[in-house]
Structure 1
Amino acid sequence: MTAPHLVPVRAARISGDDHADRGRARGQLLADGIRATVDGYARLFAELGIPEDVQLAASAASLDALRAWDPDQHREVAGVAQGAGLELVDLGRTLARTEILTRATVRPGECSTVVHRAPGATLSVQTWDWYAQFTGCWHAQRVEALDRELAHAGFAEYGMTGKIGLNAAGVGVHLNILRHRDDDAGGVPVHAVLARVLTHARSVEEAVEIVRSAPTSSSSVLTLVDPDRAVMAEIAAGRVSTLEQEGWGTHTNHFLAEDLQDGAMLLDPASDSLDRLAWLDAHVGGEAPTDADDLLPVMCSPLGRKGVALLPDPTLPERERTATLVTVRLDPARRQVALSPGVPQHAEDATVRYRLAPQTP
């Protein structure tokens, strides 16, 4: 088992003449990784007790929801499938993996996010924790803009058009999965919402509007940042509640909004979400950061046990083995993204950095 911080990072530059063409270009360029990731999710879902027919039905329903909500993005993901030599419904197992996982009784790994809001100097950081078996199933990316859209950079799982990153208008997005009693499969994939924020939002306000417009069916929190603001938009099966404050903000994997507490659940009874939030809250509050890398020490919980920074435990079964796969920092004002494989303690070992040229209407 290769430690996540030792995995080579692939960086892809994606462009095209239209949505379908850009999708095909992605599919052709990243075909091996896309197919491997689809196969990985098919195996994971089966291990979690989700039959193949349920996987495919949930995928098809989410793709239909995406086509109704964002036809251009649907054309793009259809192009990805074509370029990678896959059926679209099979690619949907990756695109709608959060929604499909609502059919499992056991929920996945957890993430931690910190923001510091200051006028003209908002900064953010996240550890993306996921199943360790997907250590090699993500890549860095820079996506060139189409007409009336924005260029963006960050990272995505193979086959997704967007995930966590920042666009040329200085709007960024993070994602933490949540769980609610009303969660279901079949809604617009939350990862499609992330992608649309990155290609269209020119402010946090516009990003929140995009989130509210999506008929989602699973639960997550999207932390939305621009140079001046930071808003955490909690989604509970289509309902959205926003949290905003000056200075420091933290989030892990349980609902914080008062109006979404009815039906709110931990991802798993053994979740350490509350402990991680307490850790973060105890380690923020000092001097205001001036650079996104200044946030890294906050994320460096002790290794060797569960926490904000998580190493894979080789003694656990594969389906229970999670780890910090990526540590990502966003600097909206400077239009800068920094991605490091693995835990934040190893961020200095390898980092991919992007700087986007400011893009205005």
Structure 2
Amino acid sequence: MTFPTFISSQTEPRARGKEFGTHLRKRVAANFAGYTDLFRVAGARPAQVRAWGERALERSAAWAPHLADEMAGIAAGAGLQPWQVAVVNARTEILAAIDFVGHGECSTSVVLPDTGPPRTVQTWDWHDHLRDAPLLWEYEPDPGRVVRTFTEAGALAKIGVSTAGLGVHYNILRHESDTADLGVPVHLIARRILDEAATVEDAAGIARSATVSASTVITVVTTSEAASIEISPAGVAVIPPDSEGVLQHCNHFLDERLEAGVRHASGRPGTYDRLRHLRDHVAGLSAPDLHTRALALLGHAPEDAPVCAHPDLTQPLNQRWETLATISLDLPAGRLRVHQGGPCQVTESTWQTF
């Protein structure tokens, strides 16, 4: 089992988007429909979702006009309206506006060894009815710079790596400052970091330049440095590795000031359990071999931390979580290593190199 791939031939944003939308028309439309179902079950009205999509498109155009153009191109190719593609890119913001609480989500580990490239791995957990949304996309934002990203059909980026030697991991957060007045979608921040940044400082500057309405953490890794950039309407914090070069993150804030405003902390104990699991398995997560690192993420509830998630089919779709991918950054090669599914399904032969 592998994720579908798409390599853009167009470099102008609107043309690139239209090419993407045309070739992936059914997937983009299905992803929008899947999010429409999720928002409905979570309590949003269709008129609210449209208004939020239009607002997200407006804020995106003000902050990064070329990315708004690319979303409009995807819409044209996929037979959708631009606000509908903006909804897919702003799904984090819409879920924050609804005040949606989820108990699953991603776990990220980065280790900077004394010698050799960074050793990274993360699980990507999301709703099981959206398991067909992910894909791998390669495009060229500038001549000579190639970006490869694991993303969802219609979303401009998520987890990824560039040939400039920088990559990002990605986890959702919740903060009391999150608001229904939609800001710049955090997925677009990840996209601009992949397209433009060469250092952690560059990435933090891009994050600080955006007015956001929802929270996330983008863990930025280069061949020599790493940091988790925690983003919320209350501010941006940069979390460095510890003295051993270890940097790990789940779905709660680590910055002391931002942590004081963490949203739904008592309702999401799994994130704290998962971070303890990561910290207890540093040896495995430090291994040069990716397969060993992935197996160090193996943990199932209720006996262990729910790092590897499986959906409870008795629950409504907005409360069903599945580890849909296990992902690592190969910075020297400018490539992603991706396994479709959770750590419990990993074998030596299931890794997809993109």
Q: Which moved more, 1:11-20 or 1:168-177?
A: 11-20
Question: Partners of 2:15 and 2:317 in 1: how far apart?
Answer: 37
Runs (5+) with no aligned partner, structure 2: none
Question: Partners of 2:45 and 2:266 in 1: how far apart?
Answer: 21
The CA deviation string for residues 36-78 of structure 1, in whole angstroms up to 9 with x for no partner, is: 0001111110110011111111111111111111111111111
Question: 2:245: which partner in 1?
Answer: 247
Question: 2:346: which partner in 1?
Answer: 347
Q: Given the superposition, is the C-alpha separation of residues 46 and 83 from structure 1 closer, same or farther in structure 2, using an over 3 Å criterion? A: same
Question: 2:192: which partner in 1?
Answer: 196
Question: 1:63: which partner in 2?
Answer: 57
Amino acid at match of 2:320: R
1:35-114 alignment runs, 5 A limit: 35-108=29-102, 109-114=104-109
Aligned length: 347
Question: Partners of 1:288 and 1:176 in 2: how far apart?
Answer: 20
1:166 counterpart = 2:161: yes
1:129-148 alignment runs, 5 A limit: 129-147=125-143
Amino acid at match of 2:128: A
Q: Given the superposition, is the C-alpha separation of residues 96 and 216 from structure 1 closer, same or farther in structure 2, using an over 3 Å criterion? A: same
Amino acid at match of 1:82: A
Question: 1:265: which partner in 2?
Answer: 263
Q: Given the superposition, is the C-alpha separation of residues 12 and 264 from structure 1 closer, same or farther in structure 2, using an over 3 Å criterion? A: same
Identity over the aligned pairs, expressed in percent?
A: 34
Amino acid at match of 2:209: S
Q: Given the superposition, is the C-alpha separation of residues 93 and 317 from structure 1 closer, same or farther in structure 2, using an over 3 Å criterion? A: same
1:154 counterpart = 2:153: no
CA contact (8 A) 1:170 1:202 kept: yes
Question: 1:184: which partner in 2?
Answer: 179
CA contact (8 A) 1:253 1:267 kept: no
Query: 276, 279, 284: which is aligned to 1:278?
Result: 276
Q: Given the superposition, is the C-alpha separation of residues 272 and 288 from structure 1 closer, same or farther in structure 2, using an over 3 Å criterion? A: closer
1:26-41 alignment runs, 5 A limit: 26-41=20-35
Q: Which moved more, 1:95-104 or 1:243-252?
A: 243-252
- Output the TM-score relative to the length of structure 1: 0.90
Question: Partners of 2:302 and 2:130 in 1: how far apart?
Answer: 20
Q: Given the superposition, is the C-alpha separation of residues 16 and 314 from structure 1 closer, same or farther in structure 2, using an over 3 Å criterion? A: same
The CA deviation string for residues 154-191 of structure 1, in whole angstroms up to 9 with x for no partner, is: 31100012111101111111111111111024111011
Question: 1:3: which partner in 2?
Answer: none
Question: Partners of 1:101 and 1:91 in 2: how far apart?
Answer: 16
Question: 2:122: which partner in 1?
Answer: 126
- Output the TM-score relative to the length of structure 2: 0.92
| Partner SS for 1:265 | coil
Question: 1:357: which partner in 2?
Answer: none
Q: Given the superposition, is the C-alpha separation of residues 238 and 65 from structure 1 closer, same or farther in structure 2, using an over 3 Å criterion? A: farther
